[in-house]
A and B are shown apart, each in its own frame.
Chain A
Amino acid sequence: MTNTVATNETILVVGAGISGLTAALESAECGKNVVLIEKNPSVGGRVSQLYKYFPKLCRPSCGLEINLRRLKANPRIKLLTMAEVTGIEGEPGDYRVAVQLQPRYVNENCTACGACAEAVTAEIDDPYNYQLKQIKAAYLPHNMAYPQRYVIDPSILGTEDAEKAKAACRYGAIDLDMQPQSIEIQAGAIIWATGWKPYDAAKIQPYGYDRFANVITSVEFERMMDPFGPTGGKLLRPSDGREAKNVAFIQCAGSRDRNHLTHCSRICCMASLKQATYIGEQYGDDSDARASIYYIDIRVIDRFEDFYEQVRADERVHFIKSKVANITEDRANGDVILHGVDTEGYHRYDNPHELCVLAIGMEPSVDASQINGGVASDASGFIAAGESTGAIFGAGCATNALDVNRAVQSATAASLRAIQVVNQVARAEA
């Protein structure tokens, strides 16, 4: 059972991705008590699903590890996973937040030994790998998951599999009778860091994400590079499992388009430039390897210009200034054919590629209209600052389409705002 002591000097952080973790850590390291809640069974959010960061091409696991160490070391942070906000009442300095906890069916005794997963036969789609892979219905969300504790998927409850998992556990960690639980958390300020989700690619109908196996999204492509990912770290295309060497990237897939998201998702240009380097990483000097980036304009800002120049100098990477009109499929070999007009010279093209990656746009995971009866937002549903937000401060990609660096800056700012509110509460009560 969860006993969470929180007062109106507590800061509640909603979402434990990179922004929420940062906001929670910085608030706690300034001496504030923090309750950090996360909907998923593990913290780290979408950053944990990245293969590499731009522009340094280092591994996100490195930065996450530091943050996890800070988290484990800090007694001021109470972490609740599988927890979601269901309602907020009160005012700045005095909020009461209803939180629903979903059962994990695995308690603190878990040592992550994996015996339950070995015992279970049922498989589920792996959310960590964007449903590209099947995992056992008793699972650790991913290797770096924190808490390092297994989850029993509710789909096997009441089946033989659940009993097998329970029998396999030598630590008494599996509790199949766990129930959903509603709790109330008191908080002086709330940091809302629920992050982003990829725009639904199937809605961009001319690109046929729902019709052609070899049209995938940038987040799915990222998972392919992970040695533990769905393709074991190889760029294998979904239609036939062959290595994809001739890869197209379509920029602004869903972004800057009045039919879809009107905003620029800001990260996609750098994401595709980064992913273009994966082609070189996979195939070296193989003369068949090539990345073709179809773009409206390349938006790499300030210090990223150097990275852009480096990628541009790579002769395996081609740039086509064009918004792709539509995609068709070559039924004979599964290749996708991109149709459009190259605006530099106005040449029509029908270019075959083995794989097409949609640099998919970002939208807020939780629309601002859904938060506390609707807080101030921009046209895309990202949280803005305004009277209606009170002491609910947006952080990271809940406020805008941001890269990791800027998300962390935004989280620090939100932390500072929340600290000021609870400081006022403390002074008033002193």
Chain B
Amino acid sequence: MAKKQYSFYPGCTSERKASAANYMVSVNAMCEKLNIKLNEIPDWNCCGASIGYAEGGELPRHVMNARNIALSEQHNPKQDIVATCAACWLGAKESSERLSASEQLLADTKEVLKEAGLDVQLKNETPIRHMVEVLIEDIGYEGIKEPMAKPLEGIKFAGYVGCQTNRPFGVDGESFENPMYLDKMVETVGGEAITNYERKVTCCGGALAFSEPEKSQVQIKDIIEAAYDQGADMIVTPCPVCQMNVEVYQGQINKTYNTKFNIPVTYYSQLLTVAYGGDIKQAGLDGNIIRAKRLEEIASK
């Protein structure tokens, strides 16, 4: 079978030594098994993320994403743009839709790109997709199951979807309040999914975890508590910000609320990599602050 080719937008969290470097490692291992080839967009830049919305201004925000789209058209023509980061996906997808909706914005954007030395046509026709969409829609659950070597038997997962892959666009065919795709992925590779986990789409606080830590930590506490309530062994998420916020503040939350949280927070790609027979390193499990021991056990078998 020929490899499926995608134009890949990794985003800043996937950089070496960044918070989701291990996400990247596991995505690479997962794609290897699924016969997916990710062609990185050369010289890609920041999506603007939260700052783009706060102080960055409309035009700069869209120009930043348009630049990535333009580079993708130039270097990886006719390939769908795929992001692993929820914020990158959301930002790029929003800019793409806004550029399609406004000729003025498109003209302004092209002018700015020209000033920056990128005199391009900017067709803006490339679909912008999250890696989970590629898995669900292009590979399919049957296809996800195919390379499985070690089912994740006996591990109970709370599938935490978060907000950015869920609103406003969401994944086609999924409910906004109770999306099921993570649960289905978990079950596909032999794990146990808590299908009625009630904090699936609760906000983790996003960038406010830095600026408003008390408020964000209330959110995070709820997300973790609900997972424990239903007997989850670990949390799984498609978003680097969700992963980080829910994982790294557990110590602080324990101090504030006198709790004893110590629950691993993993990426779907780590689950799949382990299920496909990858080792701890390939699954990036060594990059988790709270180690996912149950997954590590399976990975080392």
Contact segment of B42-50, B112-120, B171-179, B256-264: B171-179
A205, A211, A326: which contacts B196 (Cβ < 8 A)?
A211
Contacts of B176 on A, CB cut-off 8 Å?
205
**A328 → B minimal CB distance (Å):** 6
Does A206 make an interface contact (CB < 8 A)?
A: yes
**A312 → B minimal CB distance (Å):** 33
A205, A211, A328, A331: which contacts B229 (Cβ < 8 A)?
A331
**A-contact bits for B175-207, CB 8 A (1 contact / 0 none):** 111100000000000000000101000000000
Contacts of A205 on B, CB cut-off 8 Å?
175-178
Does A208 make an interface contact (CB < 8 A)?
A: yes
Is the beta-carbon distance between B177 and A328 smaller than 8 angstroms?
no
**B-contact bits for A311-354, CB 8 A (1 contact / 0 none):** 00000000000000010110100000000000000000000000
**B-contact bits for A233-275, CB 8 A (1 contact / 0 none):** 0000000000000000000000000000000000000000000
**A-contact bits for B156-183, CB 8 A (1 contact / 0 none):** 0000000000000000000111100000
Contacts of A206 on B, CB cut-off 8 Å?
177
Q: What residue in chain B is nearest A203 (Cβ atoms)? A: B175
Contacts of B229 on A, CB cut-off 8 Å?
331
Contacts of A208 on B, CB cut-off 8 Å?
177-178
Contacts of B196 on A, CB cut-off 8 Å?
211
Per the bound structure, the CA–CA distance linking A328 and B202 in Å amounts to: 12
Is the beta-carbon distance between B175 and A328 smaller than 8 angstroms?
no
**B-contact bits for A201-227, CB 8 A (1 contact / 0 none):** 000011010110000000000000000
**By DSSP majority rule, is chain B's interface helix, strand, loop, or mixed?**
loop
Q: How many A-B residue pairs have CB under 8 A?
A: 15
Q: How large is the interface on B (under 10, 10 to 19, 20 to 34, 35 or more residues)?
A: under 10
**B230 → A minimal CB distance (Å):** 8
Is the beta-carbon distance between A328 and B198 smaller than 8 angstroms?
yes
**A420 → B minimal CB distance (Å):** 50
**A17 → B minimal CB distance (Å):** 33
Contacts of A329 on B, CB cut-off 8 Å?
198
Q: How large is the interface on A (under 10, 10 to 19, 20 to 34, 35 or more residues)?
A: under 10
**B-contact bits for A263-304, CB 8 A (1 contact / 0 none):** 000000000000000000000000000000000000000000
Contacts of A331 on B, CB cut-off 8 Å?
229
Q: What residue in chain B is nearest A208 (Cβ atoms)? A: B177
Contacts of A211 on B, CB cut-off 8 Å?
177-178, 196
**B-contact bits for A180-218, CB 8 A (1 contact / 0 none):** 000000000000000000000000011010110000000
Contacts of B177 on A, CB cut-off 8 Å?
205-206, 208, 211, 326
Per the bound structure, the CA–CA distance linking A191 and B44 in Å amounts to: 64
Q: What residue in chain A is nearest B229 (Cβ atoms)? A: A331
Per the bound structure, the CA–CA distance linking A205 and B174 in Å amounts to: 11
Per the bound structure, the CA–CA distance linking A206 and B167 in Å amounts to: 13
Q: What residue in chain A is nearest B177 (Cβ atoms)? A: A205
Per the bound structure, the CA–CA distance linking A208 and B175 in Å amounts to: 11
Q: What residue in chain B is nearest A211 (Cβ atoms)? A: B178
**A91 → B minimal CB distance (Å):** 43
Per the bound structure, the CA–CA distance linking A326 and B177 in Å amounts to: 10
Q: What residue in chain A is nearest B196 (Cβ atoms)? A: A211
Per the 8 Å Cβ criterion, residues 4-53 of B in contact with A are none
Per the bound structure, the CA–CA distance linking A206 and B229 in Å amounts to: 21
**B64 → A minimal CB distance (Å):** 31
Per the bound structure, the CA–CA distance linking A206 and B198 in Å amounts to: 12
**B-contact bits for A382-399, CB 8 A (1 contact / 0 none):** 000000000000000000
**B226 → A minimal CB distance (Å):** 9
**B86 → A minimal CB distance (Å):** 20
Per the bound structure, the CA–CA distance linking A331 and B175 in Å amounts to: 21
**B-contact bits for A89-122, CB 8 A (1 contact / 0 none):** 0000000000000000000000000000000000
**B170 → A minimal CB distance (Å):** 11
* B175, B177, B198 pick with most chain A CB within 10 angstroms: B177
Q: What residue in chain B is nearest A207 (Cβ atoms)? A: B177
Contacts of B175 on A, CB cut-off 8 Å?
205
Contacts of A326 on B, CB cut-off 8 Å?
177
Per the bound structure, the CA–CA distance linking A418 and B176 in Å amounts to: 47
Per the bound structure, the CA–CA distance linking A211 and B198 in Å amounts to: 10
Contacts of B178 on A, CB cut-off 8 Å?
205, 208, 210-211
Per the bound structure, the CA–CA distance linking A331 and B196 in Å amounts to: 11
Per the bound structure, the CA–CA distance linking A326 and B178 in Å amounts to: 12
Per the bound structure, the CA–CA distance linking A271 and B177 in Å amounts to: 28
Per the bound structure, the CA–CA distance linking A211 and B177 in Å amounts to: 10
Per the bound structure, the CA–CA distance linking A326 and B196 in Å amounts to: 16
Q: What residue in chain A is nearest B198 (Cβ atoms)? A: A328
Per the bound structure, the CA–CA distance linking A210 and B175 in Å amounts to: 11
Q: What residue in chain B is nearest A202 (Cβ atoms)? A: B175
Per the bound structure, the CA–CA distance linking A206 and B176 in Å amounts to: 9
Q: What residue in chain A is nearest B175 (Cβ atoms)? A: A205
Q: Which A residues have a C-beta under 8 Å from some C-beta of B?
A: 205-206, 208, 210-211, 326, 328-329, 331
For the complex of A and B, 4 pairs with smallest distance between CB atoms: A205-B177, A205-B176, A205-B175, A206-B177
Beyond A206-B177, A211-B177, 11 extra complex contacts between A and B, CB < 8 Å: A205-B175, A205-B176, A205-B177, A205-B178, A208-B177, A211-B178, A211-B196, A326-B177, A328-B198, A329-B198, A331-B229
Q: Which B residues have a C-beta under 8 Å from some C-beta of A?
A: 175-178, 196, 198, 229
15 pairs from A and B in contact (CB 8 Å cutoff): A205-B175, A205-B176, A205-B177, A205-B178, A206-B177, A208-B177, A208-B178, A210-B178, A211-B177, A211-B178, A211-B196, A326-B177, A328-B198, A329-B198, A331-B229
